Amino acid sequence: MVDDIAEGRLDRDVVERARSGDQEAFADLVYQISDTLLGIARRIVRDPGLAEDVLQNALLTIWRKLPHLRDADRFEGWAFRILVHACYADAPRNRRWASTIRVLHTDVASQVDDIQMISDRDELERAFRQLPLDQRAVFVLHHHVGLPLVAVAETLGIPDGTARSRLHYATRALRAAFEQARATQELREGRLA
Amino acid sequence: MNDKRDFDRAVDRLLDDGSDTTPSHVIDAVLLAVRSTPQERHFRNLWRTQSMTMYLRVAAVIAIVAVAGVAALYAFGSGPNVGSGPTPTTQPTLTPPPTAVPPLLGPDPVSDERMTVIRQQVDAINASDANAFIDTFLPEGVFAPGGDFLEGLVRFGNSQPVADADLVEAWMAINRAWGFEAAIIACNQDPGARIAYGYGEGQGDPMVVNCEVATRWHSLSMEITERWSYEFHGSGLGHWGFQLLDLNPPDRALPLGYDGLEAWEAWLAATHPASAARYLNPRISEPPDYAREWWEAQAPGDPERAARLAPLLFSAENEWSIQGHEYAPFGLIPYDPAFADEIEASIQDYLVEVQL
């Protein structure tokens, strides 16, 4: 992902022009990167509305601070870092109840499997929301964006070991929630049987 | 093995939920704001407080934030009622700092005429003289403020006609409360600078002059070196901008910059909520009474004006208290000096953790 510029997804020239104050070039950048940033923010803060606020703040910070970016090839990772800091800044101030309603397709699996899936999903969601934001950030950048841990650490400006430990703690918490959901479901099925 | 696969799938479902398409209104809002939001210029400066205690370092951060707030007040636009400005006060003379600081931009000279305008402004600040300050900044009928504070820009727009607002007085009052002084160290013309604002076009050759300025904040017991940028159009001063210190790399005396402080605050709230509740003043959402009362004290018998000015000052006064002065640049760290040592330790913990 951080190699997107080298791969041609983000035009280095566009980054350079935006860095020198070209608002049209920055608009191009926004159109190119906003979906990716929104996806990261949404997964970290777990609230679509808040994620949009975070994205707006992050994009404006990116615009203001672009002249500080030394290497245009590193734009995307740099933008990720600003976004994650925006998540840190905005999420605690905007903590609110959130609910997620999903529609399950009725023709894809057995009813028991659907119930299992819902149970797993809800437990994971709950567990994920209880993770500290810095653990969520590492988890999302690694599992959703697909960055190797070394790149996650570089993006967030933290040591490799810190990234690794945050991922470990996050995974451990989620796995515990997952296993709890499974155990509860098995118990329920046993009672029904 | 199945459990692991099931777990991986469950995680995939957790992360794959929902749409990532950015709504157009979000992009529109950003692009609209960008039109009125200048970029920060990248520059580095020497920080001259290596021997400061941590308490003073934290105070220094706050003072930088204060400078930001000053810029924000400018960004609000400023205004007259020039006859009722604060009484000039006598302040000790500021001497340039002992540390040798290299000239900012090179040998290009600045004309005497333009240096006169710059000195008038600095003199007006040191005298807390709102009238002289407004005169200096009213060369072409428009007060052209500096700063890059989004909130101010969104709320009031840049380049407010002086006659539309009163915040020059507010700013001068804050300067006086903090014992703010300024002294020019060096000014140089920047031949490569882009004319960013263009006010007063047709009045003469445009020119950007960058000055390194030593500022002293007596109530914070500290000095800061800043860069002030002046954009001239002929003899007229079209814009005055502040450029805040770049606090990176981390071997600077100051541990955190603006964003770093915000991030520390967020980190503290997320990881040590009990400490956050103690260190950070609660945020409030309404203009406090003292803002109105302060203005009433400045201009007795004009409660209407006081009521009008209180909300304007609210953004700068909310959330922060230093030595009894309830000033706070908006959106920044609310800081209680009573917890200086604990805050020092907490910031160090944060720095170790995030390796800023």
In the 3-class helix/strand/coil scheme, how is B72-127 assigned residue by residue?
HHHHHCCCCCHHHCCCCCCCCCCCCCCCCCCCCCCCCCCCHHHHHHHHHHHHHHHC
Nearest to B328 by CA among B72, B86, B54, B152: B72
Query: Is B17 close to A162, i.e. CB distance below 8 A?
Result: no
- To the nearest whole Å, the CA of A76 is away from the closest chain B CA by 17
Q: What is the mean pLDDT of residues B161-184?
A: 63
Residues 6+ apart with CB under 8 A from A138: A149, A152, A156, A163, A166, A167, A170
- Cβ-Cβ pairs closer than 8 A, A with B, add up to 131
Q: At what angle do helices B258-271 and B340-354 cross, to 10 degrees?
A: 90
CA distance B220 to B174: 13
**Chain B residues close to A63, C-beta within 8 Å:** 30, 34, 37, 39
Q: Do A38 and B33 touch (CB under 8 A)?
A: no
Probe site for chain A from B6, B11, B284, B333 (most A CB atoms < 10 A): B11
- Between B46 and B118, the higher pLDDT residue: B118
Choice among A79-83, B59-63, B260-264, B269-273 with the minimum mean pLDDT: B59-63
B353 and A158: CB-CB below 8 Å? yes
pLDDT interval class at B260 (50, 70, 90):
low
Residue B221: left if φ>0, alpha if ψ -120 to 50, beta else—which one?
A: left
Chain B CB within 8 Å of residue A158 CB:
yes
CA closest to A65 among chain B residues: B40
Provide the pLDDT confidence category of residue B9 given band limits of 50, 70 and 90: confident
Candidates B7, B8, B13: best to mutate against A (most CBs of A within 10 A) is B7
Task: Name chain A contacts of B353, Cβ cutoff 8 Å.
Answer: 158, 162
Q: Angle CA(A190)–CA(A192)–CA(B3) in degrees, nearest 5?
A: 40
Rounded alpha-carbon distances, angstroms, from residue B95 to A43, B99, B326: 53, 11, 28
Q: Residue B315: which pLDDT band, with cuts at 50, 70 and 90?
A: very low
Confidence (pTM): 0.44
pLDDT grade, residue B167 (50/70/90)? low
Across the interface, which of B13, B30, B269 has its CB nearest the CB of A56? B30
What is the three-class DSSP state of B19? coil
Taking an 8 Å cut-off on Cβ atoms, the answer to whether A42 and B20 are in contact is: yes
Residue B87 to chain A, least CA–CA distance (Å): 37
pLDDT on residue B59: 40
| Nearest-angstrom CA–CA distance, B222 and B216 | 6
Q: Is the pLDDT of residue B335 over 70?
A: no
Distance, CA of B78 to CA of B161 (rounded, Å): 8
Predicted confidence (pLDDT) per residue in B133-154, tens digit: 777 766 555 555 443 333 333 3
Contact B31 A27 (CB under 8 A): yes
What is the nearest CA distance from B112 to chain A, expressed in angstroms? 31
Say yes or no for a CB contact (<8 Å) between A36 and B20.
yes
> Is ipTM > 0.90 here?
no
pLDDT given at position B312: 53
Pairing of strands B236-243, B206-217: unpaired
Res A35: pLDDT:
93
How far is residue B223's CA from residue B3's CA, in Å, rounded to a whole number?
Answer: 62
Calculate Rg over the CA atoms of chain A: 19
What confidence tier does B288 reach under pLDDT thresholds 50, 70, 90? Answer: low
> Of A179-183, B215-219, B323-327, which gets the smallest average pLDDT?
B323-327
What confidence category does residue A37 fall into, taking pLDDT thresholds of 50, 70 and 90?
A: very high
What does the mean pLDDT of chain B come to? 60
Contact between A45 and A87 (Cβ < 8 Å): yes
| A158/chain B closest Cα distance in angstroms | 5
Whether residues A174 and B11 touch (CB distance < 8 A) is answered with yes
pLDDT, one tens digit per residue, over A119-178 is: 667 778 888 888 888 889 999 999 999 999 989 988 888 888 888 888 998 898 888 888
Would you call B242 an interface residue with chain A, using a CB distance cutoff of 8 Å?
A: no
Cβ contact B150–A60 (<8 Å): yes
Q: Pick from B260, B262, B246, B247: which is nearest to B332 by CA?
A: B262
Indicate if the pLDDT at residue A28 is higher than 80: yes
Kindly indicate the confidence band of residue B13, based on its pLDDT and cuts at 50, 70 and 90: confident
Please state whether B195 falls in left (phi above 0), alpha (psi between -120 and 50) or beta. Answer: beta
Domains and CATH numbers, chain A: 1-98 (1.10.1740.10), 101-193 (1.10.10.10)
Judged by CB atoms closer than 8 Å, whether chains meet at B42 and A68 is answered as yes
Specify which of A39-43, A186-190, B5-9, B188-192 reaches the highest per-range mean pLDDT.
A39-43
Return the percentage of chain B with pLDDT > 90, whole number: 0
CB of A30 within 8 Å of a chain B CB? The answer is yes
Q: Mutual orientation of helices A75-90 and A48-65 as an angle, nearest 10°?
A: 130
Does A30 contact B31 at a Cβ distance shorter than 8 Å?
A: yes
Q: Is A100 within 8 Å of B194 when comparing Cβ atoms?
A: no
Q: Which pLDDT does position A30 carry in this prediction?
A: 94
Q: How far is CA B261 from CA B62, B64, B254, B318, in A?
A: 10, 12, 11, 17
B263 reaches A (C-beta below 8 A): yes
Angle between helices B24-35 and A48-65 (to 10 degrees): 30
Question: What's the alpha-carbon Rg for chain B, to the nearest Å?
Answer: 22
Q: Does A101 touch chain B (CB under 8 A)?
A: no
Give the per-residue pLDDT at B321.
Answer: 35
Q: Is B266 near chain A, with CB under 8 Å?
A: yes
- Retrieve residue B9's tokens: 């799938």
Q: Spell out the domain ranges in chain B.
A: 41-243, 258-354
**A165 in reach of chain B (CB within 8 A):** no
Give per-residue pLDDT as tens, A63-108.
988 887 878 888 888 899 889 988 887 765 543 333 222 233 334 3
| Alpha-carbon distances, residue A44 vs B14, B98, B117 (angstroms) | 11, 48, 51
Select the residue of A43, A102, A159 nearest B355 (Cβ to Cβ): A159
pLDDT given for residue B173 in this prediction:
64
Is the minimum CB–CB distance between B1 and chain A shorter than 8 Å? no
Domain B41-243, second-level architecture: Roll (3.10)
Q: Is the pLDDT of residue A109 over 70?
A: no
